[in-house]
Amino acid sequence: QVQLVESGGGLVQAGESLRLSCAASGSTFNVNNMSWHRQAPGKPREWVAGISNSGITNVADSVKGRFTISRDNTKNTVYLQMNSLKSGDTAVYYCKALAAGRLYWGQGTQVTVSS
């Protein structure tokens, strides 16, 4: 079992930055790929960025150049650095982990960007 806890969300103005963290606990030695997803009100959840256990990253076109995903395997934590935030980035952000063939989700953290 893997538990994921996100933190770092909040209310910011357009153009500002936030860094989200997702700390994994439990059977973390099984954790492989990790990713961030978001869900805005009335919209389906969408993938934002992913990172492999070896550090290979990929981000959605909608946030490319503004968001960066990274991980610290010594702390079992994945980060999402979000710069130049826009009102369209307002959503609940979720962390997901793949471990031993199972998917785990965190509880989400709210990001609100005021214009």
**pLDDT tens digits along 75-115:** 999 999 999 999 999 999 999 999 999 999 999 999 999 99
pLDDT in tens, 64-78: 999 999 999 999 999
SS3 95: strand
Q: Is 15 helix (H, G, I), strand (E, B) or coil?
A: coil
CA distance 1 to 104: 8
Average pLDDT for the chain = 96
For residues 38 and 46, the answer to whether their CB atoms sit within 8 Å is: yes
Give 72's contacts (C-beta < 8 A, 6+ positions apart).
Answer: 78, 79
User: How far lies 89's CA from each of 62, 66, 71, 84, 95, in Å?
Assistant: 9, 11, 21, 10, 16
